[in-house]
Amino acid sequence: MDLRSTVSAVARLPFDSDKLVDILCETEPRAANNSDDEEHAAFWLVVADQFAKRSITCDRARDKALAIIKNGSDLAMHEKLGMKPPDLAKRRKMLEDLRVRLLARQAPRRPGTVLKQPQTLLMVVGDALVYPTCEGECINPYVASKEQSRNGAGRIGWKQDSWSATIIIDVGRAFDFLAWYRPLTISNATTTKPTIGSLRLDVLWTIRRPGVCSAVHSRQWNWRRLGHCRSTRKS
């Protein structure tokens, strides 16, 4: 799943397919280059499959995946790792379906899916943002309406009862094109809307992993800029 997400991001870069493969190999060098690694076959199968689904023509990835399917190394590795015969049979069928897809003629790649220029940075280091939450959970931007989001207890039925805040502590562009942000978030939601002043008090913070944020998602989250914290620095 992680590799599929990486392929999804990398596929937006305005490079030829061989360059895209090079970038993916750099993100997972052991799996990509070491045939003895237990993830080696899966790496190339996923890359070839995801490229085919996105109409990215790449002989290198396709031929590598076809060779893995033909020599049976993927099935052999899964059997070595303890996969049971019924599951091996299902995987064998999946591999055959993939082989057929890889050999089929692909539709032209849609040009609108490729970035023409680096993404604009929506936030800068030090930006303080506030947003509504329900039992500590923010709105899920991937559902049709906020009411269909899940609350902190995991139940569908999001209704604001609290606030949270975040400070951006690092920003950048992956591969010089894809904008990312790293937030520092207050650990506990509050019943009152935070202010710049309250964030400077004795507040417990949680550092988060870097992630992406589109302009559409920031609006769906109802993010509001409180101000700028000049003392913010990388941790």
The tokens of 53 are what?
């689904």
Please state, in angstroms and rounded to a whole number, the distance separating the CA atoms of residues 118 and 19. Answer: 17
Q: How confident is the model at residue 110 (pLDDT cuts 50, 70, 90)?
A: low
* Contact indicator for 68, 17 with CB cutoff of 8 Å: no
The pLDDT value recorded for residue 232 is: 43
Q: What is the pLDDT of residues 78-87, one digit of tens each?
A: 999 999 999 9
Residue with tokens 């991937």: 142
Please state, in angstroms and rounded to a whole number, the distance separating the CA atoms of residues 70 and 75. Answer: 10
Tell me what the mean pLDDT of segment 177-206 comes to. 93
More confident position, 109 or 188: 188
In 3D space, the residue among 42, 8, 10 whose CA is nearest the CA of residue 23 turns out to be 10
Pure H helices in the chain: 2-10, 17-27, 29-33, 40-53, 59-71, 73-80, 85-103, 196-199, 215-220
Residue 158 DSSP SS3: coil
Residue with tokens 């569908």: 156
In 3D space, the residue among 164, 170, 156, 152 whose CA is nearest the CA of residue 208 turns out to be 170
The pLDDT value recorded for residue 113 is: 75
Q: What is the pLDDT of residues 4-23, one digit of tens each?
A: 989 999 999 999 999 999 99
Q: Structure pTM? A: 0.73
Residue 125 has a CB neighbour count (10 Å cut-off) of 19
The pLDDT value recorded for residue 235 is: 42
User: Taking each helix axis from N to C terminus, what angle separates 59-71 and 73-80, rounded to the nearest 10 degrees?
Assistant: 60
Tell me what the mean pLDDT of segment 142-148 comes to. 79
The pLDDT value recorded for residue 19 is: 95
The pLDDT value recorded for residue 149 is: 76
* Contact indicator for 141, 219 with CB cutoff of 8 Å: no
The pLDDT value recorded for residue 161 is: 93
- Which sequence spans correspond to the domains of the chain? 2-110, 127-228
pLDDT averaged over every residue in the chain: 90
